[in-house]
Structure 1
Amino acid sequence: MKKVCVITGGGSGMGLATAKILGKNNYIIIAGRTINKLQNALEELSAEGIEAESFACDISKYASVAKLAAHAREIGVISSVIQAAGLSPHMSEAKTIMEANALGTINMHEAFYGIMEEGSCMLDVASMSGYLVPRINIPQREYKYSRINKETFINKMIAMINVFPQKLRSSMAYGISKNFVIWYAKTDAARFGQKGIRVISVSPGSFQTPMGELEKESVESHIKFCAIKRLGRVEEIADLFAFCVSDKAGYLTGVDILCDGGCVAGMKNK
């Protein structure tokens, strides 16, 4: 059977760059909300001789993610799942951002847990923003509800975010949702580990991607704090993703890898 790599948010940026690397040894399924928006990505992959297909999936809806998981399992043995889909502050309002980034990650874990096999890897894409939310504003005590009742969890997250002025809510939703992704990947590693599956999160900093272009103003303001005074190249983060899900990183799990050019360290030092 084919080795299958599922990449949500694989239509552009980090996800597409990773598909080009992993597609050398895997059948690639790139998932996104709209099939039409994935067509250009499929053409790029095909031009490089990569066998791939697209699949419509809204990660904020469990039923949609379950269909993606079932389809992937029909194709072959799932070697890796890269949860790169998400929304940045300029892309939507706070609740939608929280549902995509946090609830989407929960749904991916729940749907793929039962069908991934020993030796495979789940990689969640977080963000350095998860490290930049002031600790007092992180509702980590409420994160436990993500495993009790997802609706209650989202409601508690939104209640926390609504404390802030309207103009800050999307940014706070993004930072808190990505902080949650880091926490969720770490705390789910033991459960997946019982089946011999690794769970990792990676927190990218400012990279040259379409999403990064949308957040251009804040991205440029971060560079002055970086040890490396430039934006990251998308190939650099894709190589990291590919290594993390490979057998070469077979002892790596339950950890977040911050890849931000030294930005968070620089900010804390200042």
Structure 2
Amino acid sequence: MKNVCVITGGGSGMGLAAAHIMGKDHFIILAGRTASRLESAVKELRDEGIETEAFAADVSSRQSVEKLAEYAAGCGRVRALIHCAGLSPHMGDARLIMQGNALGTVNIDEVFYEIMGEGSCILNVSSMSAYLTPQFIMPKRLYKHALTDIEKFLKKIMGFIRLMPRSQQANVAYGISKNFVIWYTKKMAEKMGGKGIRILSVTPGNFETPMGRLESKEASEYIKYCAIKRFGRPEEIAELMAFCASEKPGFLTGADIICDGGCVASGVNPLKNIL
């Protein structure tokens, strides 16, 4: 059977860069809300001799993710899942961001847990906003509800976000959603380990990607605080993702790996240094 790697949000940027690497020894399934938008990425990979298919899936819909998992399992052994899909503050309101980033991660991880097994890896993608958003804003006490009642989780989180100024709600939702991704990844490590599945998160900084370009004006403010004073290149984090998703780091799980040019390590405080 073929080894399969599913990449959500793999039509461009770091997801597509990871597909070029993982495609050397995996059958690649690129998942996105609109399969037609993945056509150029599929062609690019196929031109390199990489076996690739596109599949339409909305990660915020449990039913849609179940169809994706069923299709992937029918293609071979799902050995790796790289979950890059997500919404930035420029791509939706607070509710859409929470549904896409937080609920989407829960859906992807829980559904693919059922079809993956020994030696496989789930890799979730967070953001350095998870660290740079002031921690007193993070309603971490509410995260636990995602483990038992996802609707209650979303209702309580949205109630908290609505206490913030309307102009900042999308930004706050993004920081919370990505902070949740890290928390959830760590929380799921024990359950995943019971089936021999590793689960990790990677936290990117500012990268030269389509999403990064949407945020380039704000993101450029952080470069002077980085140890490496430039935006990252997609292939740089793709190498990290591909290594983590491979069988080589077999003892690595339940961890978040920051790849941001040293921005978080600088101790930069957005409220003090940026705003």
Partner of 2:13: 13
Superposed structure 1 runs of 4+ greater than 2 Å apart:
267-270
Deviations 1:94-113 (A, max 9, x none): 10001000000000011111
The one-letter code of the counterpart of 1:178 is K
Q: Does 1:28 align with 2:28?
A: yes
The one-letter code of the counterpart of 1:155 is K
Partner of 2:53: 53
Q: Shift of the alpha carbon at 1:177?
A: 0.1
The one-letter code of the counterpart of 1:81 is L
Q: CA–CA distance in 2 between the matches of 1:135 and 1:35?
A: 37
Q: CA RMSD in A?
A: 0.9
Partner of 2:159: 159
- In structure 1, stretches of 5+ residues that fail to align are none
Q: Shift of the alpha carbon at 1:44?
A: 0.5
Alignment of 1:132-171 (within 5 A): 132-171=132-171
Q: CA–CA distance in 2 between the matches of 1:148 and 1:186?
A: 16
Q: Shift of the alpha carbon at 1:247?
A: 1.4
Partner of 1:83: 83
| Number of aligned residues | 270
- In structure 2, stretches of 5+ residues that fail to align are none
Partner of 1:255: 255
Specify the SS of the correspondent of 1:224: helix
Specify the SS of the correspondent of 1:95: helix
The one-letter code of the counterpart of 2:90 is H
Contact 2:225 2:268 in 1 (8 A): no
Q: CA–CA distance in 1 between the matches of 2:223 and 2:161?
A: 27
Specify the SS of the correspondent of 1:248: coil
Identity %: 56
The one-letter code of the counterpart of 2:111 is A
Deviations 1:33-74 (A, max 9, x none): 001110010010011110000000000000000000011001
Deviations 1:194-221 (A, max 9, x none): 1111000000000000000001111101
Specify the SS of the correspondent of 2:11: coil
Q: Shift of the alpha carbon at 1:136?
A: 1.2
Specify the SS of the correspondent of 2:257: strand
Partner of 2:122: 122
Q: Shift of the alpha carbon at 1:268?
A: 4.0
Specify the SS of the correspondent of 1:249: coil
Partner of 2:190: 190
Partner of 2:228: 228
TM-score norm. by structure 1 comes to: 0.98
Partner of 1:109: 109
Specify the SS of the correspondent of 2:177: helix
Q: Shift of the alpha carbon at 1:7?
A: 0.3
Q: CA–CA distance in 2 between the matches of 1:179 and 1:132?
A: 10
Partner of 1:219: 219
Contact 2:132 2:268 in 1 (8 A): no
Q: Does 1:207 align with 2:203?
A: no
Q: CA–CA distance in 1 between the matches of 2:112 and 2:35?
A: 21
Q: CA–CA distance in 1 between the matches of 2:127 and 2:242?
A: 17
